[in-house]
Homo-oligomer: A and B are copies of this chain.
Amino acid sequence: MAMNKALPQTVITLSLPPWLERALPPPDRAFPAVEDRMRFVIGLAQQNIAAGTGGPFAAAVFHGGTGRLITAGVNLVISLNSSIAHAEIIAIMLAQQRAGTYDLGGGGLPPLELVSSTEPCAMCLGALPWSGVRRLVCGATGEDVAGIGFDEGAKPPGWQRELEERGIAVVQNVCRAEAAAVLRRYADQGGIIYNARQGERP
């Protein structure tokens, strides 16, 4: 079987593409309005497909009060060979690594929010309550991403209410048209729709 036995099986390393570090703003730059935050994130999604480093998705954790960027992630499924490497997961892992805690809603931390260029898939929705973020802001919708062929998985009906009951506010359709345009651009340029087994059903 095509398994590389030489690789160590006790360390996982996820390296972000070099362009992403260069795309980060100076630490004191604020993104006051939710649209400012979303446009920055949509810009990362666009840069991700232009650089060929992953799917048309980006996400970032912001300080909800000051609007300063904490961490940013992009979809790296293809370049990192990891179906887990969605933009939201990367941004959350980086923020927790930086804060030194598994709970971004824990004592001493300001309210943090996750801004995602597209409504999260079932995995990333499930990651939110564990993460400690206090607000989710979405651009393109689940329909938009299904429209280019991705299967986002089975989300619970009323997932917005489920998050809100767990202390996470939900804001949808922020700059939706701009975010959806990046999805369509990816599809139009022949980007890989990386559903497992090419979406083959049993």
Contact = CB atoms under 8 A, between A and B. Distances in A.
A13 interface: yes
Interface stretch (A16-24, A170-178, A182-190): A16-24
A126 interface: yes
A133 to B, nearest CB: 8
Interface string A157-200: 10100101111000000000000000000000000001111001
A84 B131 CA distance: 8
Interface string A101-122: 1111110111000000000011
Contacts of A78: 102
B108 A83 contact: no
B197 A103 contact: yes
Given A93-B82, A196-B103, A13 B10 contact: no
Contacts of A84: 84, 89, 92-93, 96, 127, 130-131
A27 B85 CA distance: 28
A90 to B, nearest CB: 7
Contacts of A63: 1
B126 A102 contact: no
Given A10-B16, A123-B127, A153-B126, A98 B167 contact: no
B122 A70 contact: no
A33 interface: no
B167 A202 contact: yes
Contacts of A71: 9
Contact of A159 (B2, B154, B162): B154
A120 to B, nearest CB: 9
Interface string A9-41: 111111110101100100100000000000000
Given A126-B123, A155-B156, A165-B201, A82 B105 contact: no
A125 B9 CA distance: 23
Contact of A130 (B1, B90, B166, B196): B196
